[in-house]
Amino acid sequence: MRRNVNTIDKLHYITHPLPDYPIAQQVEDVCRGGCSWVQLRMKEARTEERLAEALRILPRIRHYGATLIINDDVYAAKAADADGVHLGADDMHPSEARHLLGAGKIIGCTANTLDDVLRLSQYDIDYIGVGPFRFTSTKEKLSPVLGGEGIHRIVAAARIHGVRIPIIAIGGITPENIGGLLNTGIHGVAVSGAIHAAMDKATACEAIIAQLNTHHPSPITHHPSLTTNHQKNERHTKNS
């Protein structure tokens, strides 16, 4: 059961473990600033640790009427009764995650190429995070950086292929980048450092939300689509 595009927020805040800035405080600050979508990311944690943190922040999430997504860990998401899960390339298969979580939960996946987007769009998922836009120090094992041009080409080609799943740009995004990224046809952005590095986190969050809500994207030009591996194989077969 794929959700309506309007139920996927335009701003996704991704938590980051920081010694002097607890995740619970991060959640409080961004929710106070109007963010209603929080992704709990604890890359090196065990399921028990993620679950404990999820249960710690869930009352604040619910207080603000926000959405809680757990990064990587379907079991923690299910045990905490979070709103959903975000899956990386090396995480559980989205079909298995859907079976475990049920139809009512949100499932997002990460993509780095057009092939990734086309493959993932076949499954019962709700959004796709495409990136990284640029280098980011908040994520380890970074995939090849796409830049605005790369994201534009993937989004345009995906639309030509009939993909209508909301696409969220991820990776090293700052407020200065958002206007240009919205012109690529993305639905929204995922940020971390752009908010937690700001002096006033709530105000920074408010400013990004205002930018997302008031920006009027330029018409999308149909860039030449990225050649998928499937298309390459077809051409090879015809020419051999």
Mean pLDDT of all residues in the chain?
89
Q: What is the pTM of this model?
A: 0.88
Lowest mean pLDDT among 3-7, 49-53, 101-105, 186-190: 3-7
pLDDT at 74: 98
| Mean pLDDT confidence for 38-49 | 96
The model's pLDDT over 71-130, given as tens digits with 9 standing for 90+, comes to 999 999 999 999 999 999 999 999 999 999 999 999 999 999 999 999 999 999 999 999
CA pair distance 202, 39, nearest whole angstrom: 17
The model's pLDDT over 152-175, given as tens digits with 9 standing for 90+, comes to 999 999 999 999 999 999 999 999
Percentage of residues in the chain having pLDDT higher than 90: 80
CA pair distance 29, 199, nearest whole angstrom: 11
- Here the contacts of 98-105 (C-beta below 8 Å, separation 24 or greater) are 98/123, 98/124, 98/125, 100/74, 100/75, 101/74, 101/77, 103/1, 104/1, 105/77
Q: Is 84 helix (H, G, I), strand (E, B) or coil?
A: strand
Lowest mean pLDDT among 4-18, 30-44, 191-205: 4-18
pLDDT at 144: 86
Return the amino acid letter for 186: I
Residues contributing to the annotated binding site for Mg(2+)? 72, 91
Residue 3's pLDDT band, with cuts at 50, 70 and 90, is: low
Question: Domains in the chain, ordered, with CATH?
Answer: 7-239 (3.20.20.70)
Q: Is 193 helix (H, G, I), strand (E, B) or coil?
A: helix
CA pair distance 187, 79, nearest whole angstrom: 29
pLDDT at 226: 46
Query: At 60, which helix (H) or strand (E)?
Result: helix 47-63
Residues contributing to the annotated binding site? 39-43, 71-72, 91, 110, 136-139, 172
| Mean pLDDT confidence for 23-36 | 97
